[in-house]
């Protein structure tokens, strides 16, 4: 894998409180050809325009709003997201297959009504990378290993016609075994060695994520909180190309 192939697999999580701060980082990373991931913090502050701005800068955009509601509401949200031109968005697998199917229908309708050539990719959130086994067992009430829930949710997402899942790099290989190589794995919880885990629990280095077969590596704070985000990304790409 060369550096530009590596960059096409990286999604920088622009978790910033306003458009100006986010766009300053985006500008600095423009030449790499990576994706931008726009999550709740930025989207709720800056609105749909931030998606358009990032696309104007040439980025592909993963809109990470983790939809989880009744099927009809999710269908409408997916329609709006597709019309906005996002390249990928996500829903919680815990919403069930009817909700996930509704997301796919909404996305197809939205893309068609906006005259887009293809609907956005849709991936399902399995278990957040901040979730430990104890939390899942004792608080959420799901027994067993995290990896087993992730795989079960992944198979559900595949059955619903989605393109892949968000999962920890530690589970990417198991997801691929269960759902096939073509089923996408988007992996947050990426921490180059020497970086603070923060609130993340199920983490891996960029090298480990690539080796596990992850299709996309979501990297937030290691890049966006670095004094020089471009240099930090460069270092991550280097690690990926050596994997």
Give the chain's length. Answer: 243
Least gap, CB of 130 to ligand C5P (angstroms): 6
* CA distance linking residue 51 with residue 168, whole number of Å: 25
If one asks whether residue 220 binds ligand C5P (CB under 6 A), the answer comes out as yes
* Angle at 52 (CA atoms; ends 28, 57), nearest 5 degrees: 30
Assess 198 for contact with ligand C5P (CB under 6 A): yes
- 80 membership: H or E segment, kind and range: helix 71-84
Cβ atoms of 12 and 34 closer than 8 Å: yes
**Alpha helix (H) residue ranges in 85-160:** 97-113, 133-134, 146-159
Q: Is residue 88 a contact point for ligand C5P (CB under 6 A)? A: no
Cβ distance 187 to 214 under 8 Å?
Answer: yes
238 is catalytic: no
Nearer to ligand C5P, 83 or 191 (CB): 191
Candidates 54-62, 77-85, 134-142, 215-223 — which segment interacts with ligand C5P by CB under 6 A? 215-223
Q: Is 206 in the site for ligand C5P (CB under 6 A)?
A: no
219 binds ligand C5P (CB under 6 A): yes
- Select the residue whose beta carbon is closest to ligand C5P and give its number: 220
Query: Is residue 163 within 8 Å of 121, Cβ to Cβ?
Result: yes
Do 232 and 13 meet the contact criterion of CB atoms below 8 Å apart?
A: no
Minimum separation from the CB atom of position 13 to ligand C5P (A): 4
Binding window for ligand C5P (CB under 6 A); candidates: 79-87, 99-107, 214-222, 233-241: 214-222
Q: Is 166 in the site for ligand C5P (CB under 6 A)?
A: yes
Query: In whole angstroms, how close is the CB of 168 to ligand C5P at the nearest point?
Result: 7
| Active-site residue list | 66
């Amino acid at each position: 894998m060369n550096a530009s192939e590596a960059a096409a697999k990286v999604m920088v999580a622009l978790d910033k409180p306003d458009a100006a701060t986010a766009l300053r980082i985006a500008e600095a990373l423009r030449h790499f050809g990576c994706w931008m991931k726009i999550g709740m913090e930025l989207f709720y502050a800056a609105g749909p325009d931030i998606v358009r701005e990032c696309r104007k800068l040439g980025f592909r955009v993963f809109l990470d709003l983790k939809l989880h509601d009744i099927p009809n509401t999710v269908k409408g949200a997916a329609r709006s997201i597709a019309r906005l031109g996002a390249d990928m968005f996500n829903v919680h697998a815990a919403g069930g297959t009817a909700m996930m199917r509704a997301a796919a229908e909404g996305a197809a309708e939205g893309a068609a009504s906006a005259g887009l050539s293809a609907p956005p990719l849709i991936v399902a959130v399995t278990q957040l990378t901040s979730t430990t086994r104890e939390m899942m067992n004792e608080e959420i009430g799901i027994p067993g290993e995290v990896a087993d829930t992730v795989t079960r949710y992944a198979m559900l997402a595949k059955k619903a016609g989605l393109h892949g899942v968000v999962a920890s790099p530690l589970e990417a290989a198991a997801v691929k075994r269960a759902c096939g190589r073509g089923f996408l794995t988007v992996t947050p919880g990426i921490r180059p060695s020497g970086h603070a885990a923060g609130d993340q629990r199920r983490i891996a280095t960029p090298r480990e994520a690539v080796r596990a077969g992850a299709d996309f590596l979501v990297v937030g704070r290691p890049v966006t909180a670095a004094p020089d985000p471009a240099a930090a990304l460069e270092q991550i790409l280097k690690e990926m190309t050596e994997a």
